[in-house]
Structure 1
Amino acid sequence: MKKIHLLIINAFIRPFIVTFLVVMFILLMFFLFKYADDIIGKGFEWYVILELMFYSSATNVAMALPLSILLSSIMTFGSLGENYELVAIKSAGISLRTAMIPLFILILAISVSSFFFSDYILPKATQKYGSLLYDVRNKKLSFLIKEGVFNTSIPNYAIKIDRKDEKADSLFGIMIYDHSVNNGISRIIMAEKGKMYKTDDGNYLILKLINGIRYEESNGRSGYDPRQVFSRMRFAETEQNFDFSSFQMSRSNEESFANVTEMLNLKGLEKKRDSLTKELDSVVKANKVNVESYYKQTTIAKGYSKIPSKTIEFKDNIITELPKNQRFAIAQNAYQQASSVRQVVLNQLTDFDLRMKDILKTKIEYQRKYTLSVSCLVLFFIGAPLGAIIRKGGLGLPVVISVLFFLIYHIIITVSEKSIMDGGLSVGLGMWLAAIILSPVGAFLTYKASVDSALFDIDYYKQLIVSKFKKKD
C-alpha cells in the first residue's frame, strides 16, 4: 500500500469514529427524552438503565452508520482540499478516483460488516431491547403517597395521609382501607402517625402505626344468626405488612418476542413470510367457499339431476317475470342475502388487510438487511466528491450538506415504506428507491470532482454572471 493511501485512510478514520460516536450520542438522547417518564422515578438499578441504553444504541446503528460515513467522507476530502493536499496528490499523477480506491475498499468492508451485523447481531439486540423496554414500561410506579389523596398502588389497599415529613420519613393522619379480607367488608385502620420502610430483601413494605384504632365488621357467627359483629380495637403501636414484590421489575422471557418481524434474521423472515402466505391462502379459500354458499342451490342437488330442464330466458326485468304475490318476499329475501354477503366480505377484508400488512412488513425487513449496506456505499460516493468540490473541512459546511443529503435519503426511505404499506409501490422498488435516486447524484458529483468542477464555488458563479452582463453592454 502506498503512503498516499495510508494518508487518506488515516485522515478518514478519526472523523469517522468521532462522527459515529456523536451521532449515536444524539440518537441516545432522543431515546432518553422519549422514554424519560417510563424510566425516572421507578427505582431502577443503574445497570438496568445502562443495559437498556446499550441495546438502544445497537438498534440505532442502522441510522448512525450511513450518516457517519457521509459526514466523515465530506470532512476528509474537504480537509484535504482545504489544505491543498488534493492538489499535491493530483500533481503527482494520481486522479481523484484513484485516491478514493483505498477508502472505497474500507467502506466496502464496513458495508459487508453492516450486512452481517443487521442479519446476526441486530435481531438479537432488538429482541433484548424490546423485551427490556417492555418490562421497564410495565413496571409499576414506585410507592409514592401524596397528601390528601387515596393511593391504590398496593393491591387490595387504599391509603390516605393528611401530612408527611419526608426528612423524618414520617406520616401523619393515616387512614387505611383493607380489602384483603374475604367477606367483602373492608377493614378500616386509622392512626395518628406512622413510619414506612422496606424489608432487607425488598419484598415487603412495613408501615409502623402509632396511636390508632382498627374498625372491623364481620358476618354472624352461624347461619341462623344473620346479625353482623362490629369490633373496635385501639392500639398504641402495630405494624401493617404489604406485599411489595409486585413493585419489583421481573424480566420477561425473551423468546416470547422472538417472532416479532424486526427481531428476525433473513432465515426467520423467509420462514415467517411463507407461513403468513400459506395462512392467507387458506383464509382466502375459506372465504371463497363461505361466500359461494350464498349463491348455490340448497334444495336441489345441482348437477346430479338427470331430468332435462328448459333454459329460461328473461327478456325484460327479472322482477316482472315473477308472480306478483311473491315479488316483495323474493326481493326482500334477495336483499337480505346480498346484505349478508356484503357484511361477510367486509369482515374478512379487515382480516385480509392485516395479514397482507404483516407479509409486507416481513418483505420490507428482508430488503432492509441489504439496503443498509448499499446506502453506505451510495452516501460515500456522494460525500467524498462533495468534500473535494467544496474544499472545506471541520464541522461547519460539511455538517450542513451532509445533514441535507441524509434528510433527503431518510425522507425517501420513509415515504417509500409508507407507499409500500399503502399499496402504491412494490417492495423491491420502494426499498431501493433511495439508492436508485441517489446513485446518479453520486456518479455526477464524482465526475464533477474528477474534472475539478467549481460546482459550489460562489465566486465562479459571480464571475459568470458579471461576464454575461458585460457582454450585453
Structure 2
Amino acid sequence: MKNNILIDIQHKIRKLIHRIPLLDRWLLGELIAPLLFGLTLFTVVSLSVGVMFDLVRKIVESNLPWTIAVQVLLLKLPSFLVISFPMATLIASLLAYSRLSANSELTALRSVGVTASRMIAPAIALALLMTGLTFVFNDVIVPRTNRSAEFTLQRSLGKAIAAEKGDDIIYSRFGRVTGPDGDTGKGLTQLFYATKFRDGKMIGVTVLDFSRFGFTQMLVADHANWSEAQAKWEFNDGKILTLTPSGSTTTADFDRYFYPLSSAPLRIAKLPKDANNMTVSEAIEAEQLLSDAGDRKEARRLRVRIQEKFTVPMACLVFGLIGSSLGARPNSRTSRSQGFGISVVLIFVYYVLSFSFSSLGVKGTLDPLLAAWGPVLISLAGGGVLLRQASR
C-alpha cells in the first residue's frame, strides 16, 4: 500500500516537472549546482566565525560537553542559513549565467529570439522560492531555535538561567487627568519601574501614581507578582507615601498590598530583548505594548525591525535579479573566483546601504517603512538597469 502511494507521488512529481518548459528546466538545472556551492560556502564561513570558534573555546576552557556543542551548533544553523540564502542566490545566478554567456549558449538563445528577460525568468523564480524559504526560516524557525540554543548552552555550563528574566522594566500608563484649571486631558497616570524580573517576579518595584488630581502617590515594594485571580498586582514588603494637595505627607507600611494596574509590565518584561528572536506577530504585539507604555524610541526601533522581517528575505529577489542580469550580459566571462569577488562587493554594498537606512529609521530621521524598504527598491531599480543593459 505504502509503495503504491510513493509510486503515485513520484508519478505526479514527474508530471509536474514535465509541465515546466524545457528551457526553464535546463536553466534551473544550471542554477542548482552553484546555489548549493554558495549555500555550503557561506554557511560554513559564517557558522565558523559566528559560533563554532566560541563553542570550541567553551569546550576547552569551560568543559562544555562536545555533544552539547554539536546540539547548540545545529540549533544555531537556521539563523546562519537565513544569512546564506540571499548570498547563495547571488553567486548562483551570477556564476550560472556568466558560464552560459562565456560558452555562447546565451548568444545562441538570443539568435532564436529569446530575450534577456525570458532567460533570467528561471533565476527570478528560484529567487522568489528562496525569498519564501528565507521568510519561513526567519519568522518561524529561527526565533525558536535561537532561544533553545541559549537555554541549552547556559544550562550545560551550570548557569542558572531563568525562562523569564529582564532588567530595568519600565511601563508608563496614560489616561484622563484633570489639570489645575479643572480641564481634563490625556496624560501620565502611572509610572511602573522594577529593577529586575526573575521567574515571574518583579524585584525592587517603584510605582508613581498621578491618577487622582492633586495627589501624588509613591509605592515602593521589595517584590511584586501579578495575581490572575485578583487581576491586580500583589506588592509585598513595602510602603506607600502620599503627598496631599495641602502639602502634607502620609506614609503607610504594608506586608501585602493589591494595586489596580494591568498586566502590561509583565508582558513587557517577557519580551525577548533581541527582535531577531521574535516572530512577526510577537514583534507587532511588543511594538503595541511599548507604544502604549510611551517608550517611543523602542517602539520605533521595533517598527523598523517588523518591516525588516519582510525585507531581509527580499534580498534573495534583489540578488537574483542583479546576479542574473550581470551574468547574462553579452560576452560576460566570469570565473568562479571572480564571481565570488563580485558577490562579496555587491553583498557589502547592499548591506551597508541597508544598515544605513535602518539606523536612520531607528533614529527617527526616516519613516520605518522607507527605512526598511528603501534599500530593496533602490537595488531592484539598479537590477532593472542592469537587465536593460543585458537586453541590448
TM-score of the superposition, structure 1-length normalised?
0.52
Separation of aligned partners in 2, 1:12 and 1:69: 9
Which structure: larger Rg? 1
**In the alignment, which residue of structure 2 is the partner of 1:323?**
none
- Identical aligned residues as a percent: 20
Q: In structure 2, what residue type is equivalent to 1:450?
A: S
Question: Is the counterpart of residue 125 in structure 1 residue 145 in structure 2?
Answer: yes
**In the alignment, which residue of structure 1 is the partner of 2:87?**
67
CA contact (8 A) 1:107 1:377 kept: yes
Matches within 5 A, 1:12-31: 12-31=31-50
**How many residues in Structure 1 have an aligned counterpart in Structure 2?**
263
Separation of aligned partners in 2, 1:18 and 1:358: 39
Secondary structure class of the residue paired with 2:336? coil
Q: Deviations over 1:351-373 (max 9, x none)?
A: xxxx3332133222211221023
Q: In structure 2, what residue type is equivalent to 1:442?
A: G
Separation of aligned partners in 1, 2:386 and 2:310: 24
Separation of aligned partners in 2, 1:424 and 1:404: 27
Q: In structure 1, what residue type is equivalent to 2:285?
A: K
Separation of aligned partners in 2, 1:429 and 1:134: 38
Question: Is the counterpart of residue 426 in structure 1 residue 367 in structure 2?
Answer: yes
**In the alignment, which residue of structure 1 is the partner of 2:343?**
402
CA contact (8 A) 1:38 1:136 kept: no
Question: Is the counterpart of residue 78 in structure 1 residue 98 in structure 2?
Answer: yes
Question: Is the counterpart of residue 266 in structure 1 residue 280 in structure 2?
Answer: yes
TM-score of the superposition, structure 2-length normalised?
0.62
Q: Deviations over 1:226-256 (max 9, x none)?
A: xxxxxxxxxxxxxxxxxxxxxxxxxxxxx97
The alpha-carbon deviation at position 94 of structure 1 amounts to 1.2
CA contact (8 A) 2:46 2:80 kept: yes
**In the alignment, which residue of structure 1 is the partner of 2:325?**
385
Matches within 5 A, 1:81-230: 81-135=101-155, 139=159
**In the alignment, which residue of structure 2 is the partner of 1:417?**
358
Separation of aligned partners in 1, 2:270 and 2:286: 15
The alpha-carbon deviation at position 139 of structure 1 amounts to 4.9
Question: Is the counterpart of residue 374 in structure 1 residue 314 in structure 2?
Answer: yes
Separation of aligned partners in 1, 2:365 and 2:153: 33
What is the RMSD computed on CA atoms of the aligned residues? 2.4
Gaps spanning 5+ residues in structure 2: where? Answer: 1-19, 161-268
Separation of aligned partners in 2, 1:74 and 1:266: 32
Separation of aligned partners in 2, 1:413 and 1:134: 33
Q: Deviations over 1:249-292 (max 9, x none)?
A: xxxxxx97757532221211111111111111xxxxxxxxxxxx
CA contact (8 A) 2:86 2:130 kept: no
Secondary structure class of the residue paired with 1:396? helix
Separation of aligned partners in 2, 1:9 and 1:411: 30
Gaps spanning 5+ residues in structure 1: where? Answer: 141-254, 281-354, 452-473
Matches within 5 A, 1:325-344: none
- Misfit runs of 4+, over 6 Å: none
The alpha-carbon deviation at position 50 of structure 1 amounts to 0.9
CA contact (8 A) 1:58 1:122 kept: yes
The alpha-carbon deviation at position 76 of structure 1 amounts to 0.6
Separation of aligned partners in 1, 2:360 and 2:153: 29
Secondary structure class of the residue paired with 1:424? coil
